[in-house]
Structure 1
Amino acid sequence: MNFLAHFFLSHRIENIIIGNFLGDFVRGNKYKDYPEEIAKGIMLHRNIDTFTDQHPIILQTNKRLHANFGKYAPVITDIYYDHFLGVHFNKYKFENQSKELKDFSIFIYQTLEKNYEILPPLAQQVFLKMKEQDWLTHYATLYGMEQSLNGLSRRAKYATNLHESFDFLKQNYSVIESDFLLFFPDIMQFVHEKLNEYFCK
């Protein structure tokens, strides 16, 4: 799962949102340095990644990509799935969560800005770029996907064909969309159960 999915799966719980974002930047036992609820958000991020990496539909999507993109297939799958979450955003709704992607994106940016000082320097840099370029809203557009995938290609020093991942998405759009639509209810149910475990003990 990429940024949009992790934010969405945080159920609009402020400290879970912060922790879920920090999951990409906090390693090992460093999560214990944060307040309890933020630490739970970091652990939720890790639980989501573990569940996702082992799910048969995700493995199926990765297999579709592997011949073309090798070890980068899971990374590209994450980005593709954020696109389809953006496209189908109004199909999914948690309690008190806007059905409009733009409104949700603004809420996330405001939440991160409010907690800016908690974020480590690299997370601050990523957040500022995310907000400035409005990544979360743009994930839903093909233009946004092209920019995200081109950015991945520039950062991947030893992968020379990642620039082809945008054309691959367009050529296989329906089948990858079908994978996403089958998978996403499963991750929503998993997170619902995990949050109940965290907060109802």
Structure 2
Amino acid sequence: MNWLAHTLLSEPTVDFQLGNLLADLVRGEDRILMSADFQRGAACHKAIDAFTDSHPVVRRGRARVGAEYRRFSGVLIDVFYDYLLANQWQHYSSQPLQEFVQGFYAGARVTTLPLPPDARMTLDRIVRFDLLASYRELAGVEHALRRISTYLEKRWRRPFSLQDSVPLLSAEEAGFAADFAEFFPQLQAHVAEWMEKEAAGN
């Protein structure tokens, strides 16, 4: 799952949401400096990713991704699922999408957590450009995949154009939407169970 889903699948505290959102950017000694809620949010992020990556419905969806993008099918589906979540938001949250993201942004703007520079820069960009709500449009999906491509280019020193997969994803939207409608309620239930176990100290 991507940014919007991780933020939604959180306890309603900004530290927990930030941990769930930024877990991949705050690791090791940096994470030790974070609040207990942030660290629990980061642990929730890990539980979400493990459940998603191993789920048969998600694996089925990867088969819809063409051979050109097969290696990054998990990344493409993560981002496209945020698009589906944004457009079916009323089925998964009683709070309107814009109200939810603006509430999160308000808390994120005033956080005093000692975030490392990369995480702080990412968070500032998310808030400034309203990136969580941008997933309502395919342009937001394209922007996210272009950003990921830039990261991959710097890491592997060769060109990537994951954003070019958007027409393929859009053409298969009905199938992905059916997968998402089956999968996401199961993920919500899994996260709720995980939180209960965490609260009970298990």
Indicate whether the TM-score tops 0.5. Answer: yes
Partner residue of 2:14? 14
Q: Could you tell me how far 1:190 is from its partner in structure 2? A: 0.6
Q: After TM superposition, give the deviation of residue 104 of structure 1 in Å.
A: 0.8
**Equivalent residue for 1:126?**
122
Residue type of the alignment partner of 1:52: T
Return the alpha-carbon distance in structure 2 between the equivalents of residues 163 and 40 of structure 1: 32
Question: Could you tell me which residue of structure 2 aligns to residue 84 of structure 1?
Answer: 84
- Secondary structure at the counterpart of residue 4 of structure 1: helix
Structure 1 residue 60: deviation in Å?
A: 1.2
Question: Which stretches of structure 1, 4 residues or longer, exceed 6 Å deviation after superposition?
Answer: none
1:190 aligns with 2:190: yes
- Residues 159 and 81 of structure 1, relative CA distance in 2, 3 Å threshold: farther
Determine the structure 2 residue equivalent to 1:138. Answer: 134
1:150 aligns with 2:146: yes
Percent identity, aligned pairs only, is: 28
Task: Output aligned runs, 1:1-201, within 5 Å.
Answer: 1-28=1-28, 31-65=31-65, 67-93=67-93, 98=95, 100-157=96-153, 158=158, 160-201=160-201
Q: 2:30·2:116 contact (CA, 8 Å) conserved in 1?
A: no
* Stretch deviating more after TM superposition (146-155 or 186-195): 146-155
TM-score normalised by the chain length of structure 1: 0.89
For residues 129 and 122 of structure 1, the distance between their equivalents in structure 2, rounded to whole angstroms, comes to 11
| Structure 1 contact 14–111 (Cα < 8 Å) conserved | yes
Query: For structure 2, which runs of at least 5 residues remain unmatched after alignment?
Result: none
Distance 2:169 2:112 in 1: 34
- Report the TM-score when normalising by structure 2: 0.88
Which blocks of at least 5 consecutive residues in structure 1 are unaligned?
A: none
**Mapped contact 1:116–1:124 kept (Cα < 8 A):** no
| 1:35-94 residue CA offsets vs partner (Å, 9 max, x unmatched) | 32221111111111111111111111122225230321111111000000100111112x
Distance 1:120 1:164 in 2: 31
Letter in 2 for 1:142: L
Cα distance per residue 1:147-174 (max 9 Å; x no partner)? 2223333443245452321111121111
The answer to whether the 8 Å contact 1:83/1:139 transfers is yes
Amino acid at match of 1:136: L
Compared CA separation, residues 181 and 29, structure 1 to 2 (3 A): farther
1:11-40 deviation line (CA, Å, top 9, x unaligned): 323331121123121235753333322211
- Given that 1:22 and 1:119 are in contact with CA atoms closer than 8 Å, whether structure 2 keeps it comes out as no
> SS state of the match for residue 44, structure 2?
helix
**What SS does the aligned partner of 1:23 have?**
helix
